[in-house]
Structure 1
Amino acid sequence: MAYKIAVVGATGAVGREILKILAERNFPVSEAFALASPRSTGQSVSFGEKTVLKIRNLETFDFTGLDLALFSPGAAVSAIHAPRAAAQGCIVIDNTSQFRMDHDVPLVVPEVNPQALKRFRKRGIIANPNCSTIQMVVALKPLHDLARIRRVVVSTYQSVSGAGKEGMDELFNQTKGSFVNDLPTVEQFTKPIAFNVIPHIDKFMEDGATKEEWKMSVETRKILDPDIQVIATCVRVPVFVGHAEAVHVEFENPITVAEARAALGKAPGVNLFDKREDAGYITPLDAAGEDEVFISRLRKDPTVPHGLAFWCVSDNLRKGAALNAVQIAEELHRQGLLVRATA
């Protein structure tokens, strides 16, 4: 069976990546629509090697008759148009933060909690988690199944593509300017990002954490286990694509490095690359364009009774956004859930 689909926010980095991945993975599409804001109407985007789609106006688009819409237009836009699409009988996979903590909206990483998809009918919407959360829970899932996780301490090293094209442009312009003695223009970040690291992603909250750090905590509990405690420090680094994380995990039960290595080695979506030698680990540059979550530097954490530490890297535009959304669509298809609701 093939489906009528729409990609919303099709001119953005994630929207273009969704179209690319749908074509690469041969998702069964009978007809595709590319949607964006009125100012983008009439532009063209590629869907595979041979198909070009004309951008249509999201604000006036009728979702009646469509099976699936993959949204990535920004939270404020999704708040208006995702429920409208769902009300017209179209199943929505939303890549923004708008619905992630909605009790009636499943938050899904297919390698971790595909069973949660069965709950999407109440709202007709499925939420894609935050990029930094996705790669971490893919790594944590096999370990949690093995020894049950009690606490996670994570420090992230997040690329500027997490802030969109504007963030990437700012890094490029500041880097170029540094060689011709131009003072850096700061617009997308709070301080210069070129040759710097910034311990600040999203807004500050009353307890001193940023919203990005809060997201990692609450989303991990919603996806994996409500009893897991998570503290995160999220840092923006001068890398174009690819998020890295230093993860320290405390378990309720004993777990050895050998047991963890065996579990990670056969876990879906995980690539264990840990040679304990020069260059025997994965960096964001290595992970760019790849689908998997890479684990390196796996070792015992001797500071807690049952602890492990590891390095986790993934392409945030692919697995951290577009690929995970497409995998949700594939899982809906596999489970026989990709059936239109009655509008």
Structure 2
Amino acid sequence: MKKYNIAIAGATGLVGQTFLQVLEERNFPIENLYLMASSRSVGKIIKYKGENIKVEELNENSFDKDIDIALFSAGGEVSRKFSPIAASKGVIVVDNSSAFRMVDSIPLIVPEVNPEDVWNHNGIIANPNCSTIQSVVPLKVLDKKYKIKRIIYSTYQAVSGSGFAGIKDLENGLKGEAPENYPHQIAGNCLPHIDVFLENGNTKEEQKMIDETKKILRKDVRVTATCVRVPVLHSHSVSINIEFEKTFDINQIRKDLASVKGLVVEDDVKKNIYPMAINSKGKDEVFVGRVRRDESVENGINLWVVADNIRKGAATNTVQIAELLIAGDRGRKL
């Protein structure tokens, strides 16, 4: 099997560490692995498959090496600076930040939804927002069959979406300590405030879900979102209300959802079976349940969708994109 030279930018962060875990679990064919981070992490030793790898500084010369694919999770500012440098040297970047998601020439990929777009890149591929990823997995098949008119998202997002800082705020808040990351206490609380507020009243997180959904589904569907941070460590939950153009049978909807690779239907309310954050932690699938008709509109349904935000919502989706690249290796610099 052909092996590839892989770099990870942001290797010491929460998602960066999960990159390593997912790469090892999925036995990604790696020849050489380069771990990169800011200057304060230089020299740190990280173990991968029993081998000790020293973290090096991410800088303008980092991609002078023979690197095939670079997985970035170092924040938007870092990505905007270093991703074009990497791409200019023949590296294919899969970026986990929001820096390039809405750039027309850069594909925004969820492998279960639009894998065919992965080769429409100029060296950079964007990984969508965590809540968008888990939401569009069930939406794609439903849109194809029933034509979505409108989507209403309400999210319940775990503190790990803010990285180690969010986890620390929850843990410290449970001890009665003041928050350092969030504007208010998250312990025992819900914050309808993720990222900064925009002029239209949406937060940036809400606007991401709106814009990214349209781009991935390739349609100007009506979308609105309210994104809420909740005192849960891991896994995001999303309530999705959908209005279709076409009529449907609710039992057929469940069958449609069950046909999607990577989507698990957990929907037996008589037995109290439905997706829960606590059960999705550490898993790569998206879970859907509470599938029911919305009787307030002619062709509406409600879904409850849950996924591990650090895995499927970030690291696993990024690695899956890299897997698409090597599976479709067309003799390019891969």
Per the shorter chain, which TM-score range?
Answer: over 0.9
Offset of residue 287 of structure 1: 0.5
Residue 103 of structure 1: aligned partner: 104
Cα shift at 1:117: 1.1
Partner of 1:14: 15
Counterpart check, 1:319 vs 2:312? yes
CA deviation vs aligned residue, 1:174-198 (integer Å, no higher than 9, x gap): 1022xxxxxx312211211000001
Instruction: Give distance in 2, aligned partners of 1:220 and 1:330.
Output: 23
Aligned to 1:281: 274
The aligned counterpart of 1:260 is: 253
TM-score, normalising length: structure 1: 0.94
Q: Runs of 5+ in structure 2 lacking a partner?
A: none
Unaligned runs of 5+ in 1: 178-183
In structure 2, the residue matched to 1:250 is 243
Q: What's the offset of the Cα at 1:278? A: 4.7
Offset, 1:102 = 0.8
SS in 2 for 1:62: helix
Contact 1:63–1:90 (CA under 8 A) maintained in structure 2: no
CA contact (8 A) 2:146 2:248 kept: yes
Whether 2:77 is the aligned partner of 1:84: answer no
How far, CA to CA, are the matches of 1:236 and 1:270 in structure 2? 24
Supply the distance in 1 between the matched residues of 2:51 and 2:288 (Cα, whole angstroms): 36
Tell me the alpha carbon deviations over residues 36-70 of structure 1, each in whole angstroms, 9 at most, x when there is no partner: 0111010012223x122110111142344111100
| Mapped pair 1:51 → 2:51 | yes
| Whole-angstrom CA distance in 1 between matches of 2:304 and 2:118 | 29
**d(CA) in 2 for partners of 1:52, 1:313:** 35
1:134, 1:320 within 8 Å by CA — same for their partners in 2?
yes
Task: For residue 5 of structure 1, report the CA deviation from its aligned partner.
Answer: 0.6
Tell whether the 8 Å contact from 1:34 to 1:53 is kept in structure 2 after alignment.
Answer: yes
> Is contact 1:150–1:227 with CA below 8 Å preserved after alignment?
no
**Could you say which residue in structure 2 is the equivalent of 1:203?**
196
Residue 132 of structure 2 corresponds to 133
Corresponding residue number in structure 1 for 2:160 = 161
TM-score after normalising by structure 2: 0.97
Aligned sequence identity (%): 45
For 2:331 and 2:94, how far apart are their aligned partners in 1?
Answer: 11
1:190 and 2:191 equivalent?
Answer: no
- Whether the 8 Å contact between 1:63 and 1:89 is mirrored in structure 2 is no
The amino acid of 1:141's aligned partner reads K
Counterpart-to-counterpart distance in 2, 1:339 and 1:190: 47
Seen in structure 2, the aligned counterparts of structure 1 residues 52 and 7 have a Cα distance that, compared at 3 Å, is same
| Deviation of the 1:336 alpha carbon | 2.1
- 2:172 and 2:179 in contact (8 A); partners too: no
Q: Match of 1:113?
A: 114
Work out the number of aligned pairs and report it: 332
1:213 aligns with 2:212: no
- Structure 1 vs Structure 2 CA RMSD: 1.2
Cα deviation, residue 337, structure 1: 4.7
> Secondary structure of 2:242's match?
strand
